[in-house]
Amino acid sequence: MKLVLWPWFLLFFTLVTSSWSLSSDGQALLALSRNLTLPSSIRSNWSASDATPCTWYGVGCNVRNRVISLDLTSSGVSGSLGPEVCRLKYLQILSLSGNNISGSIPPELGNLKRFSWLSLYINSLSGTIPEELFKNQFLEQVYLHSNQLSGSIPFSVGEMTNLKSLWLHENMLSGALPASIGNCTKLEELYLLNNQLSGSLPETLSEIKGLRVFDASYNSFTGEITFSFENCKLENFSLSFNYIKGEIPSWLGNCRSLIELGLVNNSLSGKIPTSLGLLSNLTYLILSQNYLSGPIPPEIGNCQLLQWLELDANQLEGTIPKELANLGNLKKLFLFDNRLSGTLP
């Protein structure tokens, strides 16, 4: 009887020691992979008999063999992302974009103290963005776009004081853009397009002095543009397809790096500011479908790089300025559906 039991005892002993020898980070990854479904090629590569997970597909370690990055971008991963991910205490980079991960974002991700890069875009994530996730002053890049996230943008967004990029577009986010966003003073890119966001855009956006891209088009934002930039760094600024009213702010003339200005289909009124003529890099000026009145400023003729000029479906009047003939790079000119007179110079 004893002789028969011996091999079983040895096998048990071997299993115990091998799982002891895999580092805690490796065990955390294996625990994670119970819900996060890896394709078999990756699963067989994540071998429990290794001492560390540092040679595993998608895993990056520091010199002390602690996991600092998990990159399974476009790797055929499905299932859900469990809270086990935050057992990887040294994790700086998590990139799981371009997969088919469903379920919600674990709030525990907010506990990671060295976390600087979160990329979960193009998946099937649903539920709300956890308030805890944004309580993280280390995060610099947050890419959550092209999922099915709902609910509002957490107020805690203002705690990400080192944030440079926040990409939240193509989700089902609703509610207002929290005023606390103004605390993200290092923010350069804010993509909100294609959500169901509403309310007025907070005046605190003025605090984000290095903002280069602000795209909030295809939402339900209302109110006037109350924020402003003196020393403006904007390259792309789009609020198209919202319900913004009031005038186009003349401070846009301070945005000398501006390439694209899109304000299509809002309720903007008043005149087109002459200051837009100062924008020497402006390539796309798209102001169609508003209630803009007054003349087309002749100064627009100074925007030598302009390729698209769309001013159609407004209430513009007067003659078409002859200065538009200076626009040598123009490829698209839409002026119809206005009260303009005269002919194209």
Ligand X SMILES: *[C@@H]1O[C@H](CO)[C@@H](O)[C@H](O)[C@H]1NC(C)=O
Residues binding ligand X (CB under 6 A): 35, 45, 47, 55-57, 78, 80, 82, 100, 102-103, 124, 158-159, 179-180, 182-183, 204, 213, 235-236, 256-257, 259-260, 265, 281, 284, 289-290, 313
- Please list, in sequence order, all residues whose beta carbon lies within 8 angstroms of the beta carbon of residue 294, skipping any fewer than 6 positions away: 270, 271, 272, 316, 317, 318
Tell me the closest approach of the beta carbon of residue 318 to ligand X, in angstroms. Answer: 20
Q: How far apart are CA 112 and CA 341, in angstroms?
A: 63
Write down the least CB distance from residue 281 to ligand X, Å.
Answer: 4
User: Given the complex with ligand X, which of 117 and 241 has the nearer CB atom?
Assistant: 241
Q: Which is nearer to ligand X, 270 or 321 (CB)?
A: 270
Distance CA 285, CA 310 (A): 6
Q: What is the dihedral of CA 59, 111, 78, 16, to 10 degrees?
A: 60
Minimum CB separation of residue 41 from ligand X in Å reads: 9
Q: Between 162 and 236, whose beta carbon lies closer to ligand X?
A: 236
Q: Where are the alpha helices (DSSP H) in 22-137?
A: 24-32, 40-45
Residue 17 parent element (H or E): helix 2-21
Our CB check for ligand X shows the closer of 40 and 343 to be 40
Q: How far is the CB of 45 from ligand X (least distance, A)?
A: 4
Q: In angstroms, give the least distance from the CB of 155 to ligand X.
A: 7
Shortest Å, Cβ 336 to ligand X: 13
Alpha-carbon distance of 110 to 116, in angstroms, equals 11
Nearer to ligand X, 65 or 78 (CB): 78
What are the b/e assignments for 238-261, b being 16+ CB within 10 Å?
bbbbbebbeebbebbbbbeebbbb
Q: Which is nearer to ligand X, 278 or 333 (CB)?
A: 278
**Cα–Cα distance measured from residue 208 to residue 163, given in angstroms and rounded to the nearest whole number:** 11
